Amino acid sequence: MKEKVACIIGAGIGGLAAALRLAAKGFDVTVFEKSTEPGGKLAQFGKDGYRFDMGPSLFTLPGLVEELFTLFGKNMQDYMQVIELPMTCNYFFPDGSNIRAWSDPDQFLDEVQNSGADRHAVEQYLEKQAFLYSNTADFFLFNSIHKPSTYVGEAGQKSLKALHKLDVFSSMHRRNQKTFGESNLVQLFDRYATYNGSDPYRAPATLNMIAHLEHNTGAWFPANGMYGIMSALMKLAHEVGVRFLFNTGVTGLVTSGRQVTGVRTGDCVYPASVVVNSTDITLFYRDILPNKSMYRKLMKRERSSSALIFYWGVKLQSDLDVHNILFSSDYKAEFKGLFKTKTFANDLTLYIFITKKVVPEDAPNGCENWFVMVNAPENVGQDWEEEVSRARKAVVAKIKSVLGVEIDNFIENERILTPEDIEQRTGSVNGSLYGHSSNSTLAAFLRHPNFSRKYRNLFFTGGSVHPGGGIPLCLASAKIVDEMIV
């Protein structure tokens, strides 16, 4: 066997990033994917002239993607064009007010002031989140918090400067309420808990720094849609010699002592000097490297929320932006439904994502492609036909009350994705989008590490391990693994 042979399990964004980083290190890399195509949750589909991005819809920290091209002396702009959005999100509140979150910080502060909120309070709040991110991101996001060396290294020392401001013993909601009082800004900033599938009424206020990524660094968008990220990285991977075996699920590992020596796919064994798993960590310990104790431990922990998504081809032209939020009148009831009763609340917050606003080809002339999502509980055997029916009525009613549109009159085609569908399509346990929730003070430290404590050459990337889910964090996980492999 060649000395530097890497096998990557799973062709999601984390696995693909790991494959590219190892190829840049001189490894002979093969990626195994049980599906027919790459992407995982970052997928797309087309129907009747409409194109839809199926999963992740927000693109922040584009530099993490750009790094992958730089590794090979390539220019990302030759593979994908990236546009900075003038508005990160368009917010609609239950009281009928509207706040447009402009990418330009000063313009956003002007908007906040015009809405009657405290401009100075928002400015100070965002300065605090920028301070926290700049001093703790290296520690929490770009290094392994499961290795003692991180705590005594540069990242650990730097994070000490922000220790007194981390707010780990207050919830996101409590801190936001203390900062903004009864303002709509509380709900606006509480929503960032959903970026890792958590509950702002329980998640630590440390997570408020997520707001920094949008309000201080901006939101971006690929000129040909979110799947354009995957297309560009796949093109690069083929150019640099990464091999892909689709329709090929890994069924086990071959081990010897403290080393993994290969991966098994049915009757075939592929030798490896390094193995990187990018599939759901819970299923990994159930199906690929069976470990009943670890599997039970992971299944006991609270899982993140899922999503119910309506993909609608609509024959209308709206005044909405790329990203839009229509807030419910009882946010707390929504999260009680997500994590306690495992059902939808009566009033739901909607996220409407329209790529046609950036990519004209994504819908026919005079039409738009609406990706309408509500946060959903994990799949624990609910009657999804009944839940979807009830949620859809609430969604249609919300659109009518806020936007004044009888949306059913304009829908030309429809596809629905439930938590059950997400589980079956992506292998995410119970359809949870981000693995485990972050609804506790120690949640970040309880995420599975990016390395195996038993096997020296086994590593982990993707949204179910440290540092978490979403495109930037999956890319960060690959970067952590890259730095561990000499």
pLDDT tens-digit readout, 133-186? 999 999 999 999 999 999 999 999 999 888 888 889 999 999 999 999 999 999
Reported as type and span, the H/E element at residue 155 is: helix 154-159
Q: Which helix (H) or strand (E) holds 138?
A: helix 119-140
Given pLDDT bands bounded at 50, 70 and 90, which one contains residue 78? very high
User: Which segments of 383-470 does DSSP mark as H helices, in order?
Assistant: 384-403, 419-426, 443-446
Place of tokens 């002031």: 113
* Residues 396-424: tens digit of each pLDDT: 999 999 999 999 999 999 999 999 999 99
- Of all helices (H) and strands (E), which one includes residue 6? strand 5-9
- 146 with 210, same domain: the answer is yes
Rounded CA separation 469/444 (Å): 12
Asked whether residue 89 is domain-assigned, the answer is no
Mean pLDDT within 223-237: 97
The answer to whether residues 115 and 128 belong to one domain is yes
Q: Structure tokens of 255?
A: 């081990």
Residues 382 and 335 in one domain: yes
459 pLDDT above the threshold of 90:
yes
What local confidence, expressed as pLDDT, does residue 163 receive?
86
Question: Position of tokens 């508005």?
Answer: 87
Residues 415 and 457 in one domain: no
Of 218, 239, 261, which marks where a domain is finished? Answer: 218
Range of the domain at 372: 306-429
Residue 185 and residue 41 in one domain = no
**End position of a domain, from candidates 218, 233, 261:** 218
pLDDT in tens, 81-126: 999 999 999 999 999 999 999 999 999 999 999 999 999 999 999 9
Segment 326-332 mean pLDDT: 97
The closest alpha carbon to 306, from 386, 423, 215, 385, belongs to 423
Give me the mean pLDDT over the 202-213 stretch: 95
- The reported pLDDT for the residue numbered 47 is 93
Is 101 domain-assigned?
no
For residues 195 and 298, membership in a common domain is answered with no
Residue 88, domain member (yes or no): no
Residue-level pLDDT at 2: 63
E strand spans, 146-298: 220-222, 243-245, 252-256, 259-265, 268-271, 274-277
Mean pLDDT value across the chain: 96
Q: In whole angstroms, what is the distance from residue 318 CA to residue 340 CA?
A: 36
- CATH classification at residue 237: 3.50.50.60
User: Are both 340 and 443 inside the same structural domain?
Assistant: no
415 and 336 assigned to the same domain: yes
Q: Which of 175, 199, 218 is the last residue of a domain?
A: 218
Instruction: Tell me the pLDDT band of 45, cut-offs 50, 70 and 90.
Output: very high
| Bridge partners, 83 (sequence order) | 221
Please check whether residue 99 lies inside any domain of the structure. Answer: no
Q: Is residue 91 part of a domain?
A: no
Structural domain count of the chain: 3
pLDDT category, 431, cuts 50, 70, 90? Answer: very high
Q: Is residue 100 part of a domain?
A: no
Phi, psi of 133 (to 5 degrees): -65, -45
Residues 385 and 310 in one domain: yes
State the pLDDT at residue 3: 86
In this structure, are 125 and 233 located in the same domain? Answer: no
Shared domain for 449 and 342, answered yes or no, is: no
- Pairing assessment for the beta strands 306-314 and 411-417 based on DSSP bridges: antiparallel
Q: Establish if 400 belongs to a structural domain.
A: yes
28 lies in a domain?
yes
Same domain, 310 and 357: yes
Does the pLDDT of residue 486 top 90, yes or no?
Answer: no
